[in-house]
Structure 1
Amino acid sequence: MRITKIGFLIAFALATTSVRAAGLASIDVPANGDGPALKAFVWSPCATPPSEVKLGPVALPAVRGCPIAGSKLPLVIISHGHGGGSLNHHDTAEALADAGFLVVAVNHPGDNFSDLSRAGDISIMFQRPTDIKRLIDFIIGKWPEAAKIDPDRIGFFGFSRGGYTGLVLAGAVPDFRDPNVPCPEPAPICGEIRRNEIPAKPLARDGRIRALVLADPLSFFSNRESLKAVGAPIQLWSSEHGGDGVLPESVAALAVNLPDRPDFHAVPGSAHFAFLAPCPAALAASQPEICKDQAGFDRAAFHRSFDAEVLAFFRRHLGASRTP
């Protein structure tokens, strides 16, 4: 196990590139027989200096609609946690895009900040991996900018339920009846598990994903057998205190039970929501539960180190951007 050092220990020199701004665009994936319409944000390398873009309470350094710089770019898909959204990890997306990656962060239908209609239902645990598979299909297929992407270099970043989503896509088999997973009533999903109302349909897998970063993943994977099919390299992050149903000991067990030892980081002094981008004042005022950290923990300083480590991992396994 490697302990992450908080602060400026890893310089953003790792992100050296001629492109120094993240292009920002929205994308819509049409509904089909496998699921509802998807909405996402795309961050891309951009040659134009950034300005401030305001999206609700969040201000981003970006360029709206900037032409994508480069070609054959590696792609990273971001999956948010329970009730989250596509802007939750914008700083990580910006760092990756500045370094030559194309990054797409989805809003999971029925389980996002503006639509919680299915967030408490076990069916969402089956829909989430399908959302990502459909998103990848569209991005490298029918999206007008698909030719800019190298389909052989696809990565995944997932937080909390997004981490669960990544593990399923990588081949892990969840055990929703695992007694070690806390599931307090009256959460609807707990009653569904207790009554054995678990969907029979298969979970989506996607072998196109070549590397995964998982931050405080929600784990229904209690043993080596449930993880034996996972072959892609993984960078695994754990908060010290956990939260929102994620137990630090469950994340540590993943590090032991995965077939190949992950690049494991435990973050001293952190709680679950420390992996979300640092909150602007307006968001901190309206949602202190996801913005307030443990006493003495500096989220902004941590994210400088965190984003650099994530970038270094994806560079190692997907490579930097290249031209034909």
Structure 2
Amino acid sequence: MYRDLALHLARNGFVVALPEHPGNHRDDRSLTGTVENLTNRPRHLRAVIDFACAEWRISSVAVVGHSLGGYTGLALVGGKPTASPHETGGEPEPLAVEHDDRVQALVLLAPATPWFMLDGALDDVRVPILMLSGEKDEHTTSWHASQDPPGFDRVAYQERMKAEVLEFLQRYARK
């Protein structure tokens, strides 16, 4: 969904990875709505960061996450998520997620945040965050589909968004 943004960042000197989470992507939704998915996603991202840091000697990492990718980024930088009864089959359950101090900035695009509703769930998040969400997006549908309101110029918006994300990352993720 964000290939143009990824390409824009790569053209401006960033190493970009677009991980596909096993069991939670457009062709395989087998882990959707499970505790396993909520604990796996940050672990997958850590593995990608481990590889990138070793392979390309990267010292500055930022995460850009849309929807559940926003959950993943927040969990990775100190958020304390809690699985809902829907995911646990019983009571709410705090999730053990290993944080990653290498992540220096987050870009959250219409982030899914219901797992961080308990008091103090975001108290340990200490990185700069750029959060963008749709003005008319009350609830993103399960397929992340949306309809542009009359007069909305998606192409122009995409160009503004790419510039804003680039400026933010150049400021906070290149230290």
Give the TM-score, by structure 2 length.
Answer: 0.88
Match for residue 109 of structure 1?
22
* 1:155–1:245 CA distance, 2 compared to 1 (3 A): same
Match for residue 34 of structure 2?
121
Q: 1:203 aligns with which of 93, 97, 105?
A: 97
Answer 1 or 2: which has greater helix percent. Answer: 2
Answer 1 or 2: which has greater strand percent. Answer: 1
Q: For 1:115 and 1:176, how far apart are their aligned partners in 2?
A: 21
Given that 1:216 and 1:238 are in contact with CA atoms closer than 8 Å, whether structure 2 keeps it comes out as: yes
Secondary structure of 1:303's match? Answer: helix
What pairs up with 1:67-146 in 2 under 5 angstroms? 88-141=1-54, 146=55
Q: Deviations over 1:56-113 (max 9, x none)?
A: xxxxxxxxxxxxxxxxxxxxxxxxxxxxxxxx21111111111111111111110101
Given that 1:218 and 1:245 are in contact with CA atoms closer than 8 Å, whether structure 2 keeps it comes out as: no
Secondary structure of 1:230's match? Answer: coil
Asked if 1:316 corresponds to 2:171, the answer is: yes
Q: 1:215 aligns with which of 109, 126, 134?
A: 109
The Cα shift of 1:197 comes to 7.4
| Residue identity opposite 1:153 in structure 2 | S
Q: 2:126 aligns with which of 218, 221, 231?
A: 231
Q: 2:135 aligns with which of 227, 230, 240?
A: 240
Give the TM-score, by structure 1 length.
Answer: 0.49
Match for residue 305 of structure 1?
160
Aligned-residue identity in percent = 32
Q: 1:162 aligns with which of 65, 69, 75?
A: 69
The Cα shift of 1:245 comes to 6.2
Secondary structure of 2:16's match? Answer: strand
* 1:196–1:126 CA distance, 2 compared to 1 (3 A): same
The Cα shift of 1:194 comes to 5.3
Note the residue ranges of structure 2 that are not aligned, 5 or more in a row: none
Q: Deviations over 1:10-62 (max 9, x none)?
A: xxxxxxxxxxxxxxxxxxxxxxxxxxxxxxxxxxxxxxxxxxxxxxxxxxxxx
Q: For 1:228 and 1:291, how far apart are their aligned partners in 2?
A: 32
The Cα shift of 1:223 comes to 5.3
Q: For 1:127 and 1:245, how far apart are their aligned partners in 2?
A: 22
Larger Rg: 1
Note the residue ranges of structure 1 that are not aligned, 5 or more in a row: 1-87, 178-189, 247-271, 274-289
